[in-house]
Amino acid sequence: MDPILTIVAGATILTVIGIMSGGTFLLRIASRGLPFNGLQKTFFRAGHAHAGVLVLLGLVSLLLVSAVGVPAPWQWAAVGVLASALLIPGGFFLSVLGRDPQRPGRAIALLWTGVVVLAASLLAVGIGVIVAGVSAL
C-alpha cells in the first residue's frame, strides 16, 4: 500500500474515537432528556450511524484495492469513500444545529455532496477491483 494511504488508514482508525464519543452523546440525549427536538435526535442518530458504517467501508475499500493490486492512482478512489464518511455525517449534524430547527438548514448540502462522492468512489473502487481480477486471470 502507498505509504500515504497507510497513514490515511491509521488516521481513520483514530477517528473511531470520535465516533465513540458521538455514541456517548447519543446516550446522554436518550437517558438525560437533553433539550433536542425530534428532528435533531433523528439526524444525530443518522449521522452517527453513517459515520461508523462509512469509516468501515472506507477502510475495507483501502485494504481491498491494495490487496488485489489495483494500480496506485486508482487506489485513491478509496479515499473518496473515507471523505464521504466526513461529508455525510457532517451534513446530518450541521444541518440541524440551533434552537429547535423545524427543518434541515443549508448544511444539508454536505450530505448530498457526500452521497455523490460516495457513489463515484464506490464505482471507481468496484471497477478497479474487477479490472484487477480480470487481469489476474
- State percent of the chain over pLDDT 90: 64
User: Residue 96: is it exposed, middle or buried by C-beta count within 10 angstroms (0-12/13-18/19+)?
Assistant: buried
Neighbours of 30 (CB within 10 A): 11
Give CA–CA dist 52/66, Å, rounded. 22
Q: What SS3 class is residue 34?
A: coil
Average pLDDT, the chain: 90
Give CA–CA dist 8/77, Å, rounded. 13
Please compute the mean of the pLDDT values over residues 83-107 and round it to a whole number. Answer: 92
Give CA–CA dist 136/59, Å, rounded. 23
Residue 79: per-residue pLDDT: 94
Count the domains in the chain: 1
Please compute the mean of the pLDDT values over residues 25-49 and round it to a whole number. Answer: 82
Residue 103 has pLDDT above 90, yes or no: yes
The residue type of 21 is: S
Residue 91: per-residue pLDDT: 96
Tell me the three cell numbers of residue 10: 491509521
| pLDDT tens profile 40-88 | 888 988 999 999 999 999 999 999 999 998 988 889 999 999 999 999 9
Q: Is the distance from CB of 89 to CB of 109 less than 8 angstroms?
A: no
Give CA–CA dist 123/129, Å, rounded. 10
- The domain of 69 spans 3-135
